[in-house]
Structure 1
Amino acid sequence: MAHHDPIGLISPRAGLAQLNERSREIFRQIVESYLATGEPVGSRNISRLITVPLSPASVRNVMSDLEQLGLIYAPHTSAGRLPTELGLRFFVDALMQVGDLTEPERQSIQQQLSSVGRSQSVETAIGEALTHLSGLSRAAAVVLTAKSNARLKHIEFVRLEPEKALVVLVAEDGQVENRVLTLQPGVPSSALTEASNFLNARIRGRTLAEARLELETTLKQNQAELDQLTQKVIAAGLASWSGGNGDDRQLIVRGQANLLEDLHALEDLERVRLLFEDLESKREVVDLLGRAESAEGVRIFIGSENKLFSLSGSSTIIAPYSDGAGHIVGVLGVIGPTRLNYARVIPMVDYAARIVSRMLGG
């Protein structure tokens, strides 16, 4: 047998850079076939699909190189090949052409998101948008958002004990949140009333984050007219709203049923069952999504890059969105099998995140 063209097997990374056009085309066919059907593809089928005329034997030689590079593997039940996680990552980073959304898709996402009325909370609107995104992407759509995105209507300080008070926050959408504050010794009831009045005059219609920014500035300017103990009550209130811990986040998931379509084997079913459990328990998913909050634009985690055992057969495509002040306040995206339609889903997630930012004034 004649020796076939070497494609640089010094190291996977060096090898990837040296893949020739023929090898890339064969590799692309294996990945695209997998993304479309979930099935392994053999050399005979590939030789029919590729534009360069090559015999099945020549295709097998190239496939052998691709396998040595760790880009494809043979599942035990089949003579065909499937892409590995490294292969999928290489395809997404180097070979895939990200499609653009069609005008109807854009309008559809925009319409869904811009239908937020004053009667509807941001959470409800985003929830509806996710249902829509999951339908378009045929995956589960997720959003991680700070609970403090709700717009405030009223605040009240209620004394519980001499040195403890309850802060009651009422949002425009009817959500009520209570937090317990520790008070300085000797704070009179008048200071609690004064603090409530001062805050109510300034917070209406703002999110907690916006209110906090505004109040920190206003407090400095109004120090003279406020009693010192009242200032301390307000400062304690601000400190209790600083957020950032797990309890201040919520995960909204829509479209889990999409994950049950197109299952090819029992191991697929088991993987989806584990993914459902992750989405139910939320904690690890919140951690995963949180890692995208500091990123610009879309982040893609494939398979074990998710760093979560039960998510290892899945891919996550997520993008952060911002509020009116330009601060990242959440992330949204989709979680699905590794054979997501990346080229179509990536621009969808990107567009949805930009529309949500616009909706929040970002």
Structure 2
Amino acid sequence: MAPVHVATSAGQYPIHIAPGRLQHVADSVPANATRLVIISNPVVDGLYGNALRQALADLNKPVFTIIVPDGESFKSLDTLNTIYDRMLSEKLDRRAVILALGGGVIGDMAGFAAATYMRGIRYMQIPTTLLAQVDSSVGGKTAVNHPLGKNMIGAFYQPVSVDIDIHVLRTLPAREVSAGLAEVIKYGLILDRAFFEWCESNVAQLVALDADTLAYAIARCCELKAQVVSADEKETGLRAILNLGHTFGHAIEAGLGFGTWLHGEAVACGLVQAAVLSGKLLGLSAADIERVRALVRAIGCPDIAPDLGEDSWLDFMQGDKKTEGGEIRYVLLPAIGQAVVQAAPLNLVQETLSETVGDIAIDRSAVQTRDMTATQA
């Protein structure tokens, strides 16, 4: 498959998408790199770390690995400091290159470490979750969480490449696949009605990780995100539409505690809530709202939000990065395939919460993993 290219203020970088791409990552390493630093977590390193180190061996460059704890709750300044400690103790220079091997948590932290170490060194994204492959690894958003808000401390900092190996998804738990598919259908909702309809028609193959179906979905999502990032690299306008479902979703994550729901699960539920609010404010049809809800259910994600309490919901959403002058701005859908960012009257938000919130929890018994050793690959 031909690479997808992302144009940024610093130039272009490629997204390589292929089964077995992990074995060819060395092709993306800058020729003048002095040392290579793999940042990963114990689960992913156990699955793919040796394969990556072997793939890099022919470069004859020093390689060392930093292992950080697994999970969203460790995406913090404390964990980031352990990365700095190791890089400083190894006396890395400005031509060192970081390789982020993992899901969105690893990609975000490794990217932020790259953006801030010696005021910026190069890094590569090697995403191992579906969510990271279609969304967080592309576009240069790097960050850590704060107890008062998700991704509130970070930087826009682009990688030199993104290398996506479709084969690594075979070790993902089904729950992680579902969470990633939430971001896939998001792209159709905001930018491409035909792609949303394709997702509806191919949802069974997506959930089953059919290789050809996945390859098309990943490539299309990367193409759509590349278009948006190239037009608005630092989210001064258009790029904000990529946050459909995230204002509600981030409130769920913060309200329940980071890591209780997966990011994609919270976003999926937020997609439903955003659709309901869109119906009230912009006239999105009841039939289209139901299509969003049905597809969220079909990928195995929750469509009913937890009861955080109305005041808590509003407090957490107030901390969203799209808030301006104290006014919460939502990504909404005039129609499937179109998105706008605007404020909403409080009474309509309250109505939306009353209709989409319930006393619920994810049914863990219904979520079977494909590989119980790969809980956060």
Q: What TM bracket, shorter-length normalisation?
A: under 0.3
TM-score by length of 2: 0.25
Q: TM-score, normalised by structure 1?
A: 0.25
Task: Look at both structures and tell me which one has the larger radius of gyration over its CA atoms.
Answer: 1
